[in-house]
Structures are given as structure tokens and as C-alpha cells.
Structure 1
Amino acid sequence: MSTRESMEYDVVIVGAGPAGLAAAIRLKQRAAEAGGDISVCVLEKGSEVGAHILSGAVIDPKALDELLPDWRGQDSPLTVEVTENHHWVLRERARIALPHWLMPPFMHNKGTYTGSLGALCRWLAGQAEALGVEIFPGFAAAELLFDEAGAVKGVATGDMGVARDGTHKPDYQPGMELHAKYTLFAEGARGHLTKELKRLFELERACDPQVYGIGLKELWDVDPAKHVPGRVIHTQGWPLTDAWGGGFVYHQANNQVAIGFVVALDYSNPFLSPFEEFQRWKQHPAIRPLLEGGRRVSYGARAINEGGWQSVPQLAFPGGALIGCSAGFVNVPRIKGTHTAMKSGMLAAEQAFAAIAAGRGRDVLDGYQPAVEASWIARELKGVKNAEPAVAKFGGTMGTMVAGADMWMRLLKIGLPVTLRHKRRDAEMLRPAAACTPIAYPKPDGVISFDRLSSVFLSGVNHEEDQPIHLTLRDTAVPIEVNLALYDSPEQRYCPAGVYEIIGREEGAPRLQINAQNCVHCKTCDIKDPTQNINWVVPEGGGGPNYPNM
């Protein structure tokens, strides 16, 4: 029998990102239209709404136009419309600008906005609260709750005040149970509860495995003479060789530029470091001048869904549904997922409201998946479904040509006669270190390129030091006996925050040290660990990065 207190709601939403907040707003809108009310709670593990939100971001306002048609007159943070769109192919000392006419029209970014997704989420939270939504930042959903029939009945927040050894500190407080007729999961890519739901309800039995990239981002205050509000640049090619991905440069408001680099996590060389590739990319002669004379003000990283339409799982299960990046609605070629995430949240909300109005609860929202499949989410994602697997299969140059041809043909209602598949998960792709060539990365100059620890400092990351480590190992022997022996401990390199270190090698007694306080919650370790021995779980609520404007 649980001793935790509980609270009852019609709908509980896990995650105050764009999908979760759009769902909350839509629920309240539908209730108001029906002349009634509905109780909605949103849990957010970050210290405040937006603290854990990281995206490029160039945002298509399509879903926002549907949700809040008058948003442009409501002091929204989206104020910088994209005015220029460039795509560069980089070679080591040169760049090739792709002609605009080669790009499918939906890649042109006409009518989109560049800015902070975190700021947008804070604004959406204000809109939701004005409608009566209860939002609880600093409370991490740590546990799934089930009723006697096996349906999800809600979630429990994590206990507070637990010491690293599991004992209760003087300020200990047990978690709270939040019960609901329906629970919507908007945890973002690789959510730890979503991962468990997929396993328990076999939600991926009819789809391809999800694949991911890691996105690393910095904000820079740049020389006003170099700032062009609304300019958007995407790059591909150098410095990546045996991996694929690319960079971005977004000129936002207030002489600020968002720059970033994405590396697909299906790479095979265990010596590759996405963080170091990002730092090297900034030194390219086409990129470095954009930053010279400026000042880096923030840093962060986050995993990104890249599987596309063929990796979207079953969306509904007894008592709940997956929305946003928990389901994987990112349009990879467009590098956009905010609009599709919001739309999925709105569609799930409409189904949940209709079910509750009809007196139902904790059954399957069986209208949600058909609603998504009939929506512009499906039309958009089906049109680009072969882009990511084409590049993964044929490489950067040939894959881009195949992907481009397929996207153009699909606009003409033809397209390739096949759906390219994702056959293996990212964790399965590493080759043994003995079969690969180590990569010699240049030392950071402290002006344009930087080391990991100084970067992590700029993320504002903070975890209570005396708490259980949230990066758990299923088998403590595996990091040395398998990861070090076969792959030269790739977790030291794929982690963008210096969480994992092998110490004691000189003494002949190597062991893995986990610096959990550095974790920026990117989830890369949970995805890329070759033995899937690392299991990311939520730390104490409020811990993690504190992104100001990412």
C-alpha cells in the first residue's frame, strides 16, 4: 500500500515542451467551447518551463496558427521571420552554396521564424495557465502507475531528499501520485517513461526502430556588423567523414546567433566525438569569421529523433498516448519538429476530451492514431520518409542526391517505389576499436573552440551532489570488460558533457567514473551505449541544465 499522497485530474501531461503545452491548451479550449471545464496538470522536470528545452530553432508556425490564431498580437517571442535561406556543402577549406532551385519548396523556410524554443514554451505556459492549466515545474515524473486492469492511471513524481546511499536526508519528502483518466507523455526524444511504455505495451512491434542524432548548440552574441536578423544557414559535409550530419547558423534577435551541429548516432567509429566535431566545424573558414569578435553565452546538447514516419510507434495504449518527440514526429530534412509535435498534442487532446465528455476513462484513445494518419503530420513525414535512410545507406553525397530526387518525385506524386528501412538501432552500429582509426582532434583555442567542461559550465547544469546517480548501470562489470576492451570506452567521447571517465588505467586498475552532476540530459548515453548497459532515469526534480534562451 502506497503512503504517497495523490491528486486526481482528468488529464495529466508529462513534459512542458511544445507538444505537452499545446495539448493542455487544446483541452481547455475544447472544454470552454462545450461550456464546461476539465482539470489538466502538466509536470515538468526542469527547474522552470523551458529550462530543459533545446532546439535550433527555425519554427514553422503552422500548428501555432491553428492553436492560437491571434498569437502574433499577443506579445509572442517569435518576432524574427526568416529572410534568407542558405545551404552550404563544406569541404575542408571551401564551401559550395547549393542553388535555391535545387531544394524542394518546403526546404526554403518561407514564413518560418527563428528564435528560442525555450522562450516560446515559457510563453505557451503562460497561455495555458491563463486557461486554468496547473503546471508544476521542478517535479520529475519518475514512475508509471497502473490500475487493476493494467491501464496507465497516472505517474508518480520522484522522492526528494534521498541521499546517494539511498537513505533519507532530513528534508526528505516522498513523491506525489497524480492520477488521471488519461495520461499524455510528452517527454521528448528517448523519454525514460516512454521507453518503458514501448516495452510494456509493445508499441514498436509494427514499426522500424527509432534512430537518433545528437544536436549540440551554442548561443553567441556577435558583432552587430555581422548580424543579419532572419538569416538561416545550413551546412553538410566537412568535418564529418565516416558519419553524417551538419551544422546550422541562425541569426536571431538582439545581435544573437544560434549555432549548432548535428551528428547522426548511427556512426561506426568509436573514436568519433560529436562535441569535438562541432568545435572543429566552427574553425572552418566559412564559419569562423561569423563568430570572430563575438562572445559565447550558452551551450547545450540534446538527442533528436531521426527515424521519420517508418519509426513512429503505436501511439495509444490503455490510459494514455505518446505525443511530440516521445512519438518521433521530427521532419529530418527540414530540421523541424515543433509544429508536428504541437499538432500531435492537439490531436491527442481532442480525442481525450471527447472520451472524457462521453464518460470514458483509461481505455485506448483509438481515434488518435487515425487522426494523426489523416493529418498534415502524416502527409509531411511521408513525403520525406526516405531522406534519412538514404543518407545512412548511401553516404552523404550519393545519399543526398537520392533523398533529394525522392522528395522532388513525391511532390510530383510519384517517388521511389520503396520505403527505405531502419534495420538496426544506433547502439548496434559501433565497430571494434581495433578495426577503426583514432581521430586526432585539435586542441581548443579558447576563442572559437572550447573544451567540454567550460562548455558544460555555460549550460547552467546543476544536480544536488548527494543524490542517487541517475545514470544507472545494469551490470557494473560491462564498462571495463566490454566497452573498454572492445570499443575503447566510447562513452568518454559520445557524451557531450564529460560525464564518463575511465580512471586508473595507468595503475592497471581501470574503472568507470560517472560525473552525474555534469549531465545535460541529452540521453545520448542511453541511446548509443553498445551493450545498452546504461539506463538513464530522472534525477531529483529541478536538476539538470538551466537553459536561459535555447
Structure 2
Amino acid sequence: MPYDVVIVGGGPAGLAAAIRVKQAAAEKGAEISVCILEKGSEVGAHILSGAVVDPVALDELLPNWRELDSPLTVPVIENHHWILTKDKQYDFPHGLMPPFMNNKGCYTVSLGNLCRWLAGQAEALGVEIFPGFAAAEVLFNDDGSVKGVATGDMGVAKDGSHKDSFTPGLELHAKYTFFAEGVRGHLSKQLIKRFDLAKDSQPQIYGIGIKELWDIDPENHVAGRVIHTQGWPLDDANGGGFLYHQANNQVALGFVTWLNYKNPYLSPFEEMQRWKTHPAIKAVLKGGRRVSYGARAINDGGWQAVPKLNFPGGALIGCSAGFVNVPRIKGSHTAMKTGMMAADAAVAAIVSQRANDSLDAYQTAYENSWVYSELRGVRNTLPLVEKFGNLIGTGLAGVTMWAEHLGVRMPFTMKTHPDNESLFRKDHVYPITYPKPDNVYSFDRLTSVFLSNTNHEEDQPVHLTLKDPTVPIEVNLALYDEPAQRYCPAGVYEIVGLEDNNPRLQINAQNCVHCKTCDIKDPTQNINWVVPEGGGGPNYPNM
């Protein structure tokens, strides 16, 4: 199936790119065909974010969005930053934070619902969207440039045989292919390596965000109230929590653990559940009911970890490259803007009939954009906290952010280090004992996964692949007590057979919520996450 532009991923970046291609083509009097492949069962099914959205990119893309029945209806009216100890909560004065940390003009919203709305705007312009189709392979021309992608075969059994329902995948060819797969995209990862796109950047680093949606007592709800927390329960690790009061007496709450933690016994899921038992968090949730659950990795590397964005035949956009502003805890606006810049470059090349244009104009546009400036100003925030700890590091980060805001450019850029290299051996740390769930505020993993509406066809090849099947026991279990048992928020990985002295790793792939944490944190980088059959995975209703 030939198109002018094929976009892999129906998130904010992919949808913004598609809309902008159609807009730019119309401005030039051209007809340019665009399609989006979305591996989820529908647009928004795999989208998970806080989210407090800065509409700056949306203002550029659709200036009249307020008149188009968008889901951005709850403006932020309050900002709070809490520092937590085990039993206490202290308010950090918001006036001491750099002005760009203020959420004035932003909205608290379900990012999934925003994407569903953007999909409607894209389809109205003639964009073709194919949900339930996972891009499984990059196609290349004879000259090495990207030719397009192929979707995965459907109806393949676990043993590789073809079931009665077998349907072969499709090849989609394009003049330009945009990869908007989100964090740690499995095709994007291949392209970064093939074209050596990260040779001049620092290693990308990550956090895992675990999120729940609660219906709470109306007396505890203030639409537009935004709360961020720092401190407890994390001890020798970094991260923090959020509570966003959205519409209809709902609160989106979550906890982010940076994946540079050292103790292999740490469980981000259990830290999130423990965080909810703090008196200040319980006061918000009292009398409420948990209605949804999910998890997703987050790009935390920032400015210095962004790879080269373009290559022959295509480009990386959005979180496939990593544009999250860590201190602002925002990335949707930057993701959308990068998609728009790539779209403008592609349309210009197509209209001008410039054969083999490698979209250098996109890279140039990024380096001259507000996205680049915004990320550059906060580039040392996470590394400072990582190096000096929560208290001193946060203070130093605040000083550098204020200095950059006032026009004093810091003469240094700190380095990042791969998350999989940070773990200590199990005999160098103390195990962490987590409390049992009370089933009121805290819950177990399998109960939580049920609320994510995750479903995979069980008789299909396991999409959590091992490069060497002996490593989980001979290396990871021996040295780290196999941390996959704890860093996975969905109970995918289990060590069974210990009682018979015959341990093996069991992979419950049907539980996978597509967070990609295993692909990132596995200390030996032995786990390679690939797409399952299209339409599988979580089905987030309002996340």
C-alpha cells in the first residue's frame, strides 16, 4: 500500500504530524496521502500520561481548538508541591520555583481522550488511521534508505504455525516514514542503532510511571488542583508522585520511580502502593474507588540524550526520540511540536520533488525551536539530583534552572548513564520488605492489571523475547535475585521451581501492559520487547 507519509503510532506526536502534513499540503495546493498505524485496539487505548497539558503546540496546530469540542476543559487553578516524610507533609513555597514551573494556562486531562479527539480532527482532513495494526518491521530500499514498514502477521500460533485465522502482514511504502512509537519504540531502537543516530548524544535514561484513576468523594475534589510530591517513600532512589484533579470528581494519581535505582529488591509498583498510604494522600482518596490502572516508561534524559532526528527516508518524532521536560513533568507539547516540524520538512520535500531528501530541515527546525530552548535550560536538573541526592540535588537543580531562566547559561552539561548499569549485586544491599495490600488504598499487581483491561491472544509468539535463555537464571538470579520479578508492574516475570532446586523464568506475556521497563532495566539487556499481535495490550478508557 503506497502512501506519501506513513506514521507509526497514534499518540500526540503522530497525530499532530498527520494533521500538519494535511494542513501544509493544502497551503501549497498539493494532495499528500497520510496514514497512521496504531497498535492499540483504538487510538488512545495505549496512551497513558499524568497529564497536565501545556496547549502551546495545540495553539499552533489548531488555533481554534477551543471551539472544536476538545477534551481540554479543566484549567489548572492551583499548584502545590508537597515534600513528604513518613508521616508528615510540608508545602514547598511555589513562589520559589522558576516561573516556567507554573501551570498557568495548562489543563488537566486524559491524554488518551485528547488523542481520540485529535484522531477525529485528522480523519476530517483525510488522514487514514488503522488501529489494531502493529508495525513489526522496517523496510529498506536498495540504497539503505527507509522504504516503509510491514505490519505483523495475524493468527500465528505460539509454535510459529499458522492458525485458521492467519492473515499475512501488509507492506506500507512511503516517501517518508515517521516513527512515533513512544518511549523505547522497538523499531526506533533499531533505527537509532542502524543509522548511528545517538553517536553524539548521551544515553537515554528513563523512569517508570505507575498511574491509577480514582473516583473520589466530591468533598475532597477541586477540579484543576495539581499536586506534586517529593520524598517518602523513596529512600535510596529518586522520583515522586502526582495527583491531578480532573473533571467529574476524578483524580489521576501516580508515582514515578527513576530507573537509575541501585537496589535490585526495589519494586516501583510497591513504592507506588506504599505512597498511597501516606496520611496526606489517604485524605484525598478517603471514600473513593479505584477505577483504572496502568504503567508506562518515561524518557528522562532530556536535551543531551536526544539523538539525531532524521535519516534517509524518515524521522523520529515525539518520545521515540525523547523530549520530556523532566522538572515540568511534561512532554506532550514538545512531542506534538516535533511531529509538526517533521511534517513541514516532509511536505516541503515532497512538493519540491527533492528525491532522497533526508529531512535535514527537520533537524535544523528543531535546533531553532522553542522545544530545543526549553529542554536546554533544564538539561542538568535530573543529573544533579541523581548525583547529589534529593535534598542537595534538588537545591542545586533549582539554582541552575533559575540561572538559565534569568539568562545565565550554565557552562556545563552533565552526563547521563544507562539505567541497566546501576544495580548493585544482591549481596551488597538489604532486601526491602513491603507491607501487604489493604485492598482499600493499596492493592496487588494482578488485581491492578485486571483494571488495565489488558488482553493478548494467548496462542501467539511471546513478544518478550530473550537473546539468551540461560541468562535469567545463571546471571540475573545469581547476581541480582532476578529483578524482573520486581521492576515489572504487571507480574509478567516469575521465578518458578525454586522449591525443587530447578529455577526457571516464567514469562506471563498476556499480562504485559507495554510499559517497556524490562527492555530498559534488565541489567544484561537480555530482554528485547517486540510488538505482539495488533490490538493486544491494555485498553485504557480514560488515562
TM range (shorter): over 0.9
Given residue 47 of structure 2, which amino acid in structure 1 is its aligned partner? Answer: I
Among residues 396, 403, 427, which one is paired with 1:402 in the alignment?
Answer: 396
Matched, 1:420 2:418: no
- 1:506 is paired with a residue whose SS is helix
Paired with 2:534 and 2:356, the residues of 1 have a C-alpha distance of 27
Among residues 216, 222, 226, which one is paired with 1:228 in the alignment?
Answer: 222
Give 4+ residue runs of structure 1 displaced > 6 Å after superposition.
none
Paired with 1:73 and 1:225, the residues of 2 have a C-alpha distance of 31
CA gap of 1:121–1:362, structure 2 versus 1, over 3 A, is: farther
For 1:153-192, list aligned pairs within 5 A: 153-192=147-186
Structure 1 residue runs without a partner (length 5+): 1-6
- The one-character-per-residue Cα deviations of 1:436-484 (angstroms, maximum 9, x if unpaired) are 1100100000000000000000000000000000000000000000000
CA shift, 1:34, in A, is 1.5
For 1:12-31, list aligned pairs within 5 A: 12-31=6-25
Partner in structure 2 of residue 277 of structure 1: 271
Among residues 541, 544, 547, which one is paired with 2:534 in the alignment?
Answer: 541
CA shift, 1:516, in A, is 0.1
Partner in structure 2 of residue 463 of structure 1: 456
Among residues 360, 376, 381, which one is paired with 2:354 in the alignment?
Answer: 360
CA shift, 1:360, in A, is 2.6
Among residues 34, 42, 56, which one is paired with 2:36 in the alignment?
Answer: 42
| Contact 2:30-2:351 at 8 Å conserved across structures | no
Among residues 54, 61, 68, which one is paired with 2:62 in the alignment?
Answer: 68
For 1:228-247, list aligned pairs within 5 A: 228-247=222-241
| Contact 1:215-1:301 at 8 Å conserved across structures | yes
Give identity over the alignment, percent. Answer: 72
Paired with 2:540 and 2:252, the residues of 1 have a C-alpha distance of 13
| Contact 1:462-1:543 at 8 Å conserved across structures | yes
Q: Which moved more, 1:361-370 or 1:535-544?
A: 361-370
- The one-character-per-residue Cα deviations of 1:149-184 (angstroms, maximum 9, x if unpaired) are 000000000000000000000010110000000000
- The one-character-per-residue Cα deviations of 1:224-282 (angstroms, maximum 9, x if unpaired) are 11110000000010000111000000000000000000000000100000000000000
Partner in structure 2 of residue 439 of structure 1: 432
Matched, 1:312 2:318: no
TM-score w.r.t. the length of structure 1 is 0.98
TM-score w.r.t. the length of structure 2 is 1.00
CA gap of 1:243–1:100, structure 2 versus 1, over 3 A, is: same
CA shift, 1:56, in A, is 0.1
Structure 2 residue runs without a partner (length 5+): none
Paired with 2:285 and 2:332, the residues of 1 have a C-alpha distance of 27
CA gap of 1:128–1:334, structure 2 versus 1, over 3 A, is: same
CA shift, 1:52, in A, is 0.2
Partner in structure 2 of residue 515 of structure 1: 508
Partner in structure 2 of residue 288 of structure 1: 282
Paired with 2:2 and 2:356, the residues of 1 have a C-alpha distance of 13
| Contact 1:152-1:362 at 8 Å conserved across structures | no
Paired with 2:256 and 2:370, the residues of 1 have a C-alpha distance of 26
Give aligned pairs, total.
543
CA shift, 1:108, in A, is 1.1
Paired with 1:548 and 1:399, the residues of 2 have a C-alpha distance of 37
- 1:286 is paired with a residue whose SS is helix
Among residues 484, 493, 513, which one is paired with 1:500 in the alignment?
Answer: 493
- 2:414 is paired with a residue whose SS is coil
Partner in structure 1 of residue 331 of structure 2: 337
Paired with 1:404 and 1:272, the residues of 2 have a C-alpha distance of 28
C-alpha root-mean-square deviation of aligned residues, in Å? 0.6
| Contact 2:133-2:535 at 8 Å conserved across structures | yes
CA shift, 1:416, in A, is 2.9
For 1:449-460, list aligned pairs within 5 A: 449-460=442-453
- The one-character-per-residue Cα deviations of 1:336-355 (angstroms, maximum 9, x if unpaired) are 00000000000000000000
- The one-character-per-residue Cα deviations of 1:65-107 (angstroms, maximum 9, x if unpaired) are 0000000111000100000000011111111111111111111
Paired with 2:30 and 2:206, the residues of 1 have a C-alpha distance of 41
CA shift, 1:362, in A, is 4.2
CA gap of 1:499–1:362, structure 2 versus 1, over 3 A, is: farther
CA shift, 1:415, in A, is 4.0
Among residues 39, 50, 53, which one is paired with 2:47 in the alignment?
Answer: 53
For 1:52-201, list aligned pairs within 5 A: 52-201=46-195
Paired with 1:252 and 1:12, the residues of 2 have a C-alpha distance of 34
| Contact 1:151-1:363 at 8 Å conserved across structures | no
